[in-house]
């Protein structure tokens, strides 16, 4: 287990560490929807599986896994570099009864995806849900996923193909400040491509013939339109309108609503597309 030190300032891990309390709400449910889809893919889990939830965040993937097994549960190891994410997930796991003395079904720890300390050939299934685009050395992380899989084991890795919320966020920004540079998430644009995901997995050790890629549509959504706007405001206002006047910030929120399509306003849902890789060792 790595020591629980604060992630370096300016890194993605530091950003996630600060936002852990509100993380799942800020994702608009799309991260959990991808996780649920990953669990429908073959080879599916059973009680004998040994699982890595890599870059686990607040435990969305593990929660979905354990909810599938009301009785005998598989062995799950969950790890993330952000200490507050791990702290929040550990509290949830205790409340759910997943972390009990003498029960070794679940282990949660702070660990860098680029420096996994698990032994070689440990896991039957390895899940990294939307983490790879934020790893500074993604190929190194892929190599650790490959190394820690058993021979014949399978890695399930998702990344984004289309960030649907960017269009209304940027459109609202330019309506208020037409001369400003549209805000972008701190993720290299190449990560939106299928080719980048394949390249990283191959350089990590996976053979091209053992990698299958598909695209999956999910939703960034609220309970209703007002809730969706609140989620987007909480997620993006601090980034997009940093240094703005209060009046301009209020205008941005109004224009955010106007920048949604009619269908998005009616359904309180913005379409997101994810790349999903299934790679066998």
Q: What confidence tens digit (pLDDT) does each residue in 59-99 have? A: 999 999 999 998 889 999 999 999 999 999 999 999 998 98
Task: Record the tokens describing residue 126, joined without a space.
Answer: 């390895």
Ranges 20-24, 148-152, 193-197, 266-270: which has the least confidence: 20-24
- Cα separations (Å) of 89 from 10, 61, 80, 242, 258? 23, 11, 10, 30, 36
Q: Report DSSP letters for 135-204, one per residue.
A: -TTHHHHHHHHHHHEEEEEEEEEEEEEE-TTHHHHHHHHHHH-TTSPPP--SS-GGGGSHHHHHHHHHHT
CATH of domain 12-163+186-221+270-280: 3.40.50.150
Q: What is the pLDDT of residues 30-52, one digit of tens each?
A: 999 999 999 999 999 999 999 99
What pTM was computed for the model?
0.90
CA–CA gap between residue 60 and residue 53 (Å, rounded):
9
Strand order in the sheet with 211-221: 106-110, 75-80, 50-54, 123-129, 149-162, 269-280, 211-221
Q: What is the pLDDT of residues 129-168, one digit of tens each?
A: 999 999 999 999 999 999 999 999 999 999 999 999 999 9
C-alpha angle 250-255-256 in degrees, rounded to nearest 5:
95
Inform me whether the pLDDT recorded for 5 exceeds 80.
no
CA–CA gap between residue 229 and residue 256 (Å, rounded):
7
Inform me whether the pLDDT recorded for 4 exceeds 60.
no
Between residues 17 and 95, which one has the greater pLDDT? 95
Rg (CA), the chain: 19
Give pLDDT, residue 16: 46
Give pLDDT, residue 176: 98
CA–CA gap between residue 7 and residue 270 (Å, rounded):
31
Q: What is the pLDDT of residues 103-132, one digit of tens each?
A: 678 999 999 999 999 999 999 999 999 999
Strands (E), 50-122: 50-54, 75-80, 106-110
Angle, to 10 degrees, between the axis of helix 225-240 and the axis of helix 166-176?
A: 60
Give pLDDT, residue 21: 53
C-alpha angle 18-130-32 in degrees, rounded to nearest 5:
85
Q: What is the pLDDT of residues 216-254, one digit of tens each?
A: 999 999 999 999 999 999 999 999 999 999 999 999 999
CA–CA gap between residue 100 and residue 61 (Å, rounded):
19
Q: How many CB atoms lie within 10 A of CB 21?
A: 13
Decide the pairing of beta strands 211-221 and 269-280.
antiparallel
Give pLDDT, residue 6: 55
């Amino acid at each position: 287990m790595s020591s629980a030190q604060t992630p370096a300032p300016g890194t993605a891990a530091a950003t996630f560490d600060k936002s852990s309390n509100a993380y799942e709400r800020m994702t608009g449910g799309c991260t959990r929807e991808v996780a649920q889809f990953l669990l429908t893919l073959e080879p599916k889990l059973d009680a004998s599986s040994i699982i890595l939830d890599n870059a686990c965040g607040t435990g969305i993937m593990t929660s979905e896994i354990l909810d599938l097994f009301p009785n005998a549960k598989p062995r799950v190891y969950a790890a993330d570099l952000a200490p507050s994410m791990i702290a929040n997930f550990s509290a949830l796991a205790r409340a759910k009864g997943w972390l009990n003395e003498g029960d070794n079904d679940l282990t949660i720890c702070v660990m860098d995806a680029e420096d996994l300390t698990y032994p070689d050939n440990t896991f039957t299934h390895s899940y990294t849900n939307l983490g790879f685009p934020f790893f500074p050395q993604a190929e190194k992380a892929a190599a650790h996923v490959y190394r820690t899989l058993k021979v014949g084991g399978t890695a399930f890795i998702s990344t984004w193909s289309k960030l649907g919320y960017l269009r209304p966020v940027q459109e609202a920004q330019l309506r208020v400040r037409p001369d400003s540079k549209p805000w972008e998430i701190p993720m290299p644009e190449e990560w939106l491509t299928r080719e980048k995901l394949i390249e990283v997995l191959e350089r990590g050790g996976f053979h091209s013939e053992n990698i299958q890629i598909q695209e999956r549509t999910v939703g960034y959504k609220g309970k209703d339109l007002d809730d969706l706007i609140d989620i987007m405001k909480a997620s993006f206002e601090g980034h997009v309108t940093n240094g703005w006047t209060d009046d301009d910030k209020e205008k941005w929120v109004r224009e955010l609503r106007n920048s949604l399509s009619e269908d998005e306003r009616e359904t309180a849902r913005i379409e997101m597309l994810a790349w999903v890789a299934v790679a066998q060792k």
